């Protein structure tokens, strides 16, 4: 195989993405070694602690059940800041538009961006627009960057998982990925599934009241819950054990996954977070989540069981045990 080319799988959020970052991008751009990746950088500027994050959105189709590329771009960066325990303050927006893109569609996207920003309580304060010739882009790409305030002294990151921690998810997994997939041309599946795209900063504000019992927050976007947990297990040097029976999964998501041979554990989410919480405060964390509209279906899905290996394993529905790995390349539908 030729290893000189960028493949679609390098953008999947799975192991290929990690290899690209670790082997090429980070070593060339950063003089400081980076151990694992968190959702945002933490900055201390003259004694003021900030979180800073950026993300680009290239989703196809741009309109899908439950949202569009615009609100996704706002929620995504808001969530990346929130996952560091920061209060999102303001965002920048960069548009790359393809010649011939409809102004009406752009207007709809802008309206939903404004609505999403208002819902998250963030301001869009700067931006940029470029237009590329027809055929040199795919209608619209959006980049958002954001700054958030860190108003606590807690250590919340992917390297802070500890043995005994309970792993909590705020609701059903895989909705976003399946909603987008179902809306894709050529795949006429009426799954009834809507994207879960939503700002999670309100939910995080509640969880921060747990104080030092809150160890890790991470949104399982591309690569899904499996890849995100594997990242955390590697960053923290722990073994995570999931319980398949307790995974909240919408029946529609289960159905589409079963037809296409996909695993919901690897399907993208845009309004979900994984929290790792000290066991003695886990029930309280669950209560906090369930009181919030975005956490009604919150569930404990597993725990950190050992201090070694960077491993994720799962007790299956039927009581068997199996390993869980990072997404390898793209998740591709199987033949039969």
User: Least distance (Å) from another protein to the CB of residue 185?
Assistant: 9
Q: Which residue number, 206 or 329, has a Cβ lying nearer to another protein?
A: 329
Piece in contact with another protein (CB under 8 A), picked from 12-20, 24-32, 141-149, 289-297: 12-20
- Long-range own/partner contacts, residues 321-326 (CB < 8 A, 24 or more apart): 324/226, 324/229, 324/230, 324/242, 324/265, 325/15, 325/226, 325/230, 326/14, 326/15, 326/18, 326/223, 326/226, 326/227, 326/230, 326/231
To which residue do tokens 């393809």 refer? 98
325 binds another protein (CB under 8 A): yes
- Which residue in the set 11, 13, 16, 121 belongs to the binding site for another protein (CB under 8 A)? 16
CA 19 – CA 186 distance, rounded (Å): 32
190 binds another protein (CB under 8 A): no
336 binds another protein (CB under 8 A): yes
24 binds another protein (CB under 8 A): no
Phi, psi values for residue 271, rounded to 5°: -135, 30
The one-character DSSP state at 224 is H
CA 243 – CA 218 distance, rounded (Å): 19
Among residues 213, 232, 314, the alpha carbon closest in space to that of 273 is found at 232
User: Least distance (Å) from another protein to the CB of residue 329?
Assistant: 6
- Which residue in the set 15, 162, 290, 292 belongs to the binding site for another protein (CB under 8 A)? 15
Q: Which residue number, 46 or 323, has a Cβ lying nearer to another protein?
A: 323
- Which residue in the set 9, 13, 264, 302 belongs to the binding site for another protein (CB under 8 A)? 9
Q: Which residue number, 126 or 258, has a Cβ lying nearer to another protein?
A: 258
Q: SS in 3 state form for 66-132?
A: CEEHHHHHHHHHHHHHHCCCCEEEEEEEEEEEECCCCHHHHHHHHHHHHHHHHHHCCEEEEEEEEEE
Piece in contact with another protein (CB under 8 A), picked from 27-35, 125-133, 168-176, 321-329: 321-329
Among residues 147, 58, 133, 41, the alpha carbon closest in space to that of 95 is found at 58
Site string for another protein, 200-239 (x = CB under 8 A): ----------------------------------------
- Which residue in the set 111, 261, 283, 296 belongs to the binding site for another protein (CB under 8 A)? 261
* Binding positions for another protein, rule: CB under 8 A: 1-3, 5-9, 15-16, 19, 186-187, 245, 251, 254, 258, 260-261, 263, 314-325, 328-330, 332-336
């Amino acid at each position: 195989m030729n290893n000189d080319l960028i493949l679609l799988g390098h953008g999947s959020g799975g192991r290929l993405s990690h290899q690209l970052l670790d082997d090429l991008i980070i070593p060339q751009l950063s003089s400081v070694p980076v151990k694992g990746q968190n959702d945002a950088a933490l900055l201390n500027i003259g004694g003021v602690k900030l979180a800073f994050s950026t993300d680009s959105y290239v989703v196809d189709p741009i309109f899908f059940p439950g949202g569009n590329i615009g609100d996704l771009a706002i929620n995504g960066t808001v969530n990346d800041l929130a996952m560091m325990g920061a209060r999102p303050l303001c965002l920048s927006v960069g548009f790359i538009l393809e010649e011939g893109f409809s102004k009406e569609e752009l207007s709809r996207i802008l309206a939903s961006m404004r609505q999403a920003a208002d819902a998250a309580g963030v301001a869009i304060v700067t931006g940029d627009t470029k237009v590329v010739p027809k055929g040199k882009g795919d209608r619209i790409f959006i980049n958002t960057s954001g700054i958030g305030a860190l108003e606590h002294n807690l250590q919340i990151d992917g390297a802070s998982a500890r043995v005994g921690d309970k792993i909590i998810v705020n609701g059903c997994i895989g909705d976003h990925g399946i909603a987008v997939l179902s809306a894709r041309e050529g795949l006429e599946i009426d799954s009834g599934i809507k994207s879960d795209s939503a700002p999670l900063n309100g939910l995080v504000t509640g969880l921060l009241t747990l104080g030092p019992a809150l160890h890790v927050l991470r949104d399982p976007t591309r690569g899904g819950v499996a890849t995100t947990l594997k990242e955390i297990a590697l960053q923290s040097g722990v073994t995570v054990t999931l319980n398949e029976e307790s995974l909240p999964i919408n029946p529609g998501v289960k159905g589409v996954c079963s037809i296409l041979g996909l695993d919901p554990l690897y399907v993208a989410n845009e309004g979900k977070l994984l929290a790792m919480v000290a066991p003695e405060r886990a029930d309280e964390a669950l209560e906090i989540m369930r009181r919030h509209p975005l956490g009604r279906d919150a569930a404990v899905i597993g725990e950190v069981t050992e201090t070694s290996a960077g491993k994720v394993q799962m007790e299956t529905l039927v009581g068997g045990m199996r390993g869980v790995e990072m997404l390898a390349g793209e998740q591709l539908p199987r033949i039969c």
